[in-house]
Structures are given as structure tokens and as C-alpha cells.
């Protein structure tokens, strides 16, 4: 960033947030989401259908990819008269975006002049997605609308646990964006006290980050006897699969803080989150149209936000429990409702005989665990899985619970599977602060145990 831009941001950081950090699109879309609280289910479904028709028409008329795809499948936007007609629209996947992403950009935009976003690539090669400031403002409005359920207001400061920072810094205070950014790849027992002091000095009352990063932070607070020094108003969990043991650890350390779990993606085709103690995900119907592949349980979404690079009936690699398009009492403006999101379909493990198992099934074995702050399953051979548990508790306590996990895993992998247990003080994260819960090394490297 140039010196001029840096200086300008420092000056603007003293102005009210609503004047410099958000624009017209933010306020328009936040108002749109707020209005749904006063609309009937039928009215919201009508508005959702109109949004679906508009984005499909835009894509057909102004992108080369969708015009060609729909013509090949005998579909025209005029055929979309109700939600049942949406099934006529062909589903697209990541490989389509990789191959034809630039052809998905609306004709009035030049890809080179747009903002490029990349996915993390946890299931393969990363994707390049195109966006602009208006789309990003709409996304931020949707997130702020969700966070309002735990008291957050646009412009309030937050402490972010997201990943690596420039030059390996431990933390950076960005007054312009009202964030204190913590380098989750650099947190240790030695510097946890310094981090707590920086958080207290900021005065920010919301913690935001991946569940794995926040669980690590909570664990180190317990290890160093620093609990009770800081109690945020709410914990805002970012879009990463959430395990029971992470929730238990975070909630036990910050027992007076509200907890909100956010589910979203860089593709912006589905946005949901917990809004009550049931831990069910409630989605925003005017953010996107969300469906489910009945055969694979994968989530399919159509974004209403992105009119730069429309993603229509885009199948994610995330698998979910069966969900209901009907809203629940008291949350009539939020639907569908999904009881659980169990993991990525692309992460495959194997039984000893070579049969495949998707990781969403495996994730079920980790539900209800409380004695570790993180857990990773590494398959070294078809008949050998290493369970790596991150914990500071006595090993006998952790091993007792892992024994129960193994019993559940044996029902999936059969008793022919061998398990090796490793209990470690810390599991290394990537530069983004994440780590894969499942890693398959079968045939990739020699094994020495």
C-alpha cells in the first residue's frame, strides 16, 4: 500500500464508520435484510423468486458461459416461473469455474479491472473469482445482519484470529477497519500474555476467527492461567467446520459471552449461521437460493449478491443434514434451516478393503468430544489411521475419550482398521489459520512409526 493511501486511512480512521468504511450498497442491502423481519413467509418467497429470475436472466443475456450452457440444455429464463422450474437449470461446479471463470463475468465488466478473490483450495486447485466493491459491501451487510443477533453493530471493533500477518508480526491494530488482527500461526505460550494485553488495550469486545484458531487461543489461556482477564460480548466463529470439542473449550473459557457460528464461502452462494442454542443453521433467503443434492447431500446455492460473476446452481463440496425450506416459529424470515453441516465431500478416506468414505460421515465420530482443542485424522495406509489430538490435559483423560472416538470409527472403517494415537500440545495451522481435519497420505509417502 502506498504512503498516500496509508496516510489517508489513518486520517479516515477517526471519522464515524458509516461515512468512510461502508457505502450505499451496504445500507441498501442491510435495509433489505432488515425488512424481511416484517414480511410474511409468502412475501419473502415471492421476493426470492424475483431475485432468482433476475440473476438467471442477467447471466443468460450478458455472459458467454451461461448463454452457451443454457442453450445446450434447452433452458431459457422465461421457463423459470416457480421454484420447481429451477431444477431445469443445469448445476455447475468448481471445475466449471476453473475452466470458464472469465466467461462467467457479465459483459459490461473487464476481468482485469475487477477484484480477484481466491478460494483456499482445500479440496484441490484454488479458484479465481471476480468481484467489486458493491458486491463486497452487500456481503458485509449480510454478515452484519447476522451478527446483530449477538449484539454487534457495524463499526464496532473486533479482534480477528484469521492467520498469518505481513512480516510475521504477532498482531496489527487497524483503526480504519476497527480490527485488531492476531497472527494465529505465531501464538505461543510465551507470547499469549502480550496478546491479551493488546486485546485489552484495544477495548474491542468481539472475538472473530476460525473455530480452530479461537480454540487454540482459549487453550493457551487455560494453560497459562490467564482466563478471566478478558470477556468479550460475543464470539463470532468464521466459516470453518465447527466441532463440539471446540465449542466446549471456547464456551468454557468465555462462559459469559454469546456464541455465533457463521457459515459462508468466498463464492457467496449460501450464508447461514446459528441464531439460537439449537446450533441449527438458519440461512438468509434474500442473500441466495439454497438447495440440496438429494443423492450426495451437497449444498447447492445461487447468489443474489454477485451481479459481476453470477454463480447459479453452484454445487459446493460441503455436505449437510437434510434441511427444511419452511422457517421455524420465531425465525420466519430465515430459511432454509439446516441441522448440521458435516464437512467437505471432497475429503475421502478409505476402509481397509479400499472402499471410500466421505469425511462428513467421519466427522460424526468427533461429535460430543471435550478433552482436546483440535483433532486431525491422518490416513497413512488403507489399514492405518493416526488420530492426532491437541490437548494440555493429562493423557489418560484424553485417551479415554479417544477410545470412544475409535469405537465410533470402527463402525465406519470396520475392526480391521488400525489406529495410532498421538497427543500433542499444538497442531500446526496454515498461513490462513486453518488446518485440515482429514489428511490422506495413502501411497504418497513412506511411513515410519
Strand order across the 438-440 sheet: 418-424, 384-390, 374-381, 438-440
Q: What is the pLDDT of residue 243?
A: 75
Distance CA 404, CA 246 (A): 17
Instruction: List the domains of the chain with CATH numbers.
Output: 14-342 (3.40.50.12780), 348-440 (3.30.300.30)
The reported pLDDT for the residue numbered 15 is 43
Separation of alpha carbons 374 and 426, rounded Å: 8
DSSP annotation of 92:
B
Place of cell 459490461: 108
Record the cell numbers describing residue 6, joined without a space.
496509508
Rounded-to-integer distance, Cα 313 and Cα 302, Å: 5
Residue positions counted in the chain: 449
The Cα–Cα gap between 152 and 25 comes to: 19
Distances (CA, A) of 411 to 244, 361, 406: 20, 11, 9
Verdict on whether the full-model pTM lies above 0.85 = no
Q: Are 396 and 428 in contact (CB under 8 A)?
A: no
- pLDDT tens across 44-95, in order? 999 999 999 999 999 999 999 999 999 999 999 999 999 999 999 999 999 9
Is the distance from CB of 341 to CB of 360 less than 8 angstroms?
Answer: no
pLDDT greater than 80 at residue 190: yes
Residue 439 has pLDDT above 90, yes or no: no
> Please, where are the H alpha helices in 73-162?
94-100, 133-147
Q: What is the dihedral of CA 233, 203, 147, 137, to 10 degrees?
A: 180
| Per-residue model confidence as pLDDT tens digits over 319-338 | 888 888 888 888 889 999 99
Judge whether residue 314 has pLDDT over 90. Answer: yes
Q: What is the pLDDT of residue 384?
A: 95
What is the gyration radius of the CA atoms in the chain, in angstroms? 23
118 pLDDT tier (thresholds 50, 70, 90): confident
| Nearest-angstrom CA–CA distance, 202 and 280 | 33
Average pLDDT over residues 114-131: 74
Query: pLDDT category, 125, cuts 50, 70, 90?
Result: low
Q: Which residue has the higher pLDDT, 324 or 133?
A: 133
Could you report the per-residue pLDDT of 248-295, keeping only the tens digit for each? 889 999 999 999 999 999 999 999 998 767 788 999 999 999 999 988
User: What is the pLDDT at residue 373?
Assistant: 81
Backbone angles phi, psi at 397, to 5 degrees: -70, -45
- Phi and psi at residue 349, in whole multiples of 5°? -115, 175
Amino acid at each position: 500500500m502506498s504512503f498516500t493511501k496509508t496516510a489517508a486511512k489513518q486520517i479516515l480512521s477517526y471519522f464515524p464508520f458509516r461515512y468512510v468504511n461502508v457505502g450505499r450498497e451496504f445500507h441498501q442491502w442491510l435495509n433489505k435484510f432488515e425488512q424481511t423481519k416484517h414480511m410474511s413467509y409468502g412475501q419473502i418467497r415471492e421476493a426470492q423468486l424475483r431475485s432468482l429470475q433476475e440473476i438467471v436472466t442477467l447471466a443468460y443475456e450478458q455472459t458467454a458461459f451461461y448463454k452457451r450452457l443454457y442453450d445446450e440444455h434447452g433452458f431459457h429464463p422465461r421457463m423459470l416461473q416457480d421454484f420447481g422450474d429451477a431444477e431445469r437449470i443445469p448445476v455447475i461446479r468448481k471445475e466449471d469455474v476453473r475452466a470458464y471463470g472469465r466467461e462467467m463475468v457479465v459483459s459490461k465488466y473487464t476481468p482485469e479491472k475487477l477484484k480477484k478473490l481466491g478460494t483456499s483450495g482445500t479440496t484441490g486447485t484454488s479458484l479465481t473469482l471476480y468481484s467489486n466493491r458493491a458486491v463486497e459491501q452487500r456481503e458485509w451487510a449480510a454478515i452484519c445482519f447476522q451478527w446483530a443477533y449477538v449484539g454487534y453493530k457495524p463499526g464496532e471493533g473486533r479482534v480477528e484470529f484469521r492467520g498469518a500477518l505481513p512480516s510475521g508480526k504477532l498482531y496489527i491494530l487497524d483503526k480504519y477497519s476497527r480490527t485488531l488482527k492476531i497472527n494465529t500461526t505465531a501464538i505461543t505460550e510465551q507470547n499469549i500474555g502480550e496478546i491479551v494485553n493488546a486485546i485489552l488495550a484495544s477495548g474491542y469486545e468481539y472475538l472473530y476467527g476460525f473455530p480452530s484458531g479461537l480454540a487454540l487461543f482459549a487453550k493457551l489461556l487455560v494453560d497459562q492461567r490467564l482466563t478471566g482477564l478478558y470477556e468479550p460480548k460475543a464470539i463470532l466463529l468464521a466459516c470453518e467446520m465447527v466441532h463440539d470439542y471446540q465449542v466446549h473449550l471456547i464456551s468454557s473459557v468465555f462462559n459469559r459471552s454469546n456464541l455465533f457460528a457463521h457459515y459462508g464461502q468466498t463464492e457467496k452462494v449460501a450464508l447461514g449461521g446459528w441464531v439460537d442454542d439449537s446450533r441449527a443453521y438458519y440461512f438468509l433467503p434474500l442473500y441466495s437460493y439454497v438447495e440440496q443434492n438429494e443423492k450426495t447431500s451437497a449444498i447447492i446455492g445461487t447468489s443474489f449478491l454477485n451481479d459481476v460473476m453470477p454463480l447459479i446452481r453452484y454445487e459446493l463440496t460441503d455436505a449437510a443434514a437434510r434441511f427444511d425450506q419452511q422457517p421455524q416459529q420465531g425465525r420466519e424470515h430465515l430459511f432454509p434451516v439446516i441441522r448440521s453441516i458435516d464437512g467437505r465431500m471432497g475429503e475421502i478416506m478409505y476402509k481397509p478393503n479400499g472402499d471410500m468414505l466421505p469425511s462428513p460421515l467421519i466427522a460424526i465420530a468427533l461429535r460430543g468430544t471435550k478433552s482436546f482443542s483440535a483433532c486431525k485424522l491422518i490416513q497413512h495406509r488403507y489399514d492405518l489411521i493416526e488420530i492426532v489430538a491437541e490437548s494440555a490435559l493429562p493423557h489418560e483423560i484424553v485417551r479415554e475419550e479417544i477410545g470412544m472416538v475409535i469405537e465410533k470409527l470402527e463402525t465406519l472403517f470396520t475392526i480391521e482398521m488400525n489406529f495410532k494415537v498421538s497427543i500433542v500440545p499444538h497442531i500446526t495451522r496454515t498461513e490462513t489459520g486453518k488446518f485440515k481435519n482429514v489428511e490422506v497420505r495413502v501411497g504418497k509417502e513412506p511411513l515410519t512409526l
